[in-house]
């Protein structure tokens, strides 16, 4: 290996320089990505989404409660009409 470097010093120097430049540019690009900031329009408001996990049992229970309330309301209306 050292024999090759002694035989071709210019090629070794060029290769070494090329590797240093490539590694330097890569590190420069990686460091500049972390510094980039999100550009937003003036007056733009960040919108967050509020979400929660919904359980199917709770949905079914709520639907049954609403159905029961509607039936009670209809029953009261029928009772009120009957009394009139």
Average pLDDT (10-30) is 93
Average pLDDT (41-62) is 78
Q: Is the pLDDT of residue 81 over 80?
A: yes
Average pLDDT, the chain: 85
Write the DSSP assignment of the chain as a string of letters. Answer: -HHHHHH-HHHHHHHHHHHHHHHHHHHHHHHHHHH------TT------------HHHHHHHHHHHHHHHHHHHHHHHHHHHH-
* Most confidently predicted of 1-5, 43-47, 69-73: 69-73
Does pTM surpass 0.85?
A: no
pLDDT of residue 39: 62
Q: Is the pLDDT of residue 63 over 80?
A: yes
- What CA–CA distance (Å, rounded) separates 28 from 35? 11
């Amino acid at each position: 290996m050292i024999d090759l470097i002694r035989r071709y010093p210019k090629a070794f120097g060029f290769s070494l320089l090329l590797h240093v430049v490539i590694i330097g540019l890569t590190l420069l690009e990686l460091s500049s990505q972390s510094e980039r900031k999100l550009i937003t329009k003036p007056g733009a408001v960040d919108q967050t989404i509020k979400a929660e996990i919904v359980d199917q049992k709770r949905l079914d229970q709520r639907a049954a409660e609403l159905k029961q309330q509607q039936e009670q309301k209809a029953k009261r209306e029928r009772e009120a009409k009957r009394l009139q």
